[in-house]
Structure 1
């Protein structure tokens, strides 16, 4: 039976905190604006990490800015975390917040239309 809280989960949680801090205070790229790191998934062999993020406005330039700063972020993570190898960083836009807002809007519209019919 697998552990409920494996090493990859612990590393992912610490990476999420450290990357959020680095994005807030260290990254100077204007393409990378206000970004929220929603989740981090680290592979079992610690070779790759998917960083899921959401932004106020999704654009290709934001993705390019994050990919361009991946090397810097990886270097800073190596300094901050006690890992033998730091995973390669892959950034993925997390559309779940956008989907949730759209569903909430649809529910509000359905409730409003029910009230007008009554």
Structure 2
């Protein structure tokens, strides 16, 4: 018999991520918020709280967008309760900014810059 690799909270978190992705996209459009997308959802074991990690196209717009999403989280939670999710109790939502993409881009640009300073110019290479 195969072992259960995923916990119940992981399965619910994945479903919440799909549903919240659609709802956050609609909230961005309806409320004129900066463009953000849901990158992950972490849910507590008792299913009372869900931390929704969002990332922004422009890093400087991330924190204002998170602040606005937290302000309308009750609307999003209400929409989530009336969506296709079959949950007895919809968790409280807490939005946070996921800066891992920004950090990854910064590391990549630093590595590219370092590689340019180390690598000899194409014309000076000896064969």
TM-score w.r.t. length of structure 2 = 0.83
| Cα distance between partner residues in 2 of 1:6 and 1:68 | 30
Higher Rg? 2
Query: Moved runs in structure 1, 4+ residues, more than 4 A?
Result: none
1:23 maps to 24
Of the three residues 77, 83, 86, the one matched with 2:87 is 83
Q: Verify: 1:64 aligned to 2:67, yes or no.
A: yes
The gaps in structure 1 that reach 5 residues or longer are none
| Cα distance between partner residues in 1 of 2:20 and 2:52 | 9
- Say if 1:77 and 1:86, in contact at 8 Å, map to a contact too: yes
Q: Cα RMSD over matched residues?
A: 1.8
1:34-73, aligned counterparts within 5 Å? 34-57=35-58, 58-59=60-61, 60-73=63-76
| Cα distance between partner residues in 2 of 1:33 and 1:23 | 11
Aligned length in residues: 116
The gaps in structure 2 that reach 5 residues or longer are none
Equivalent position SS for 1:36: strand
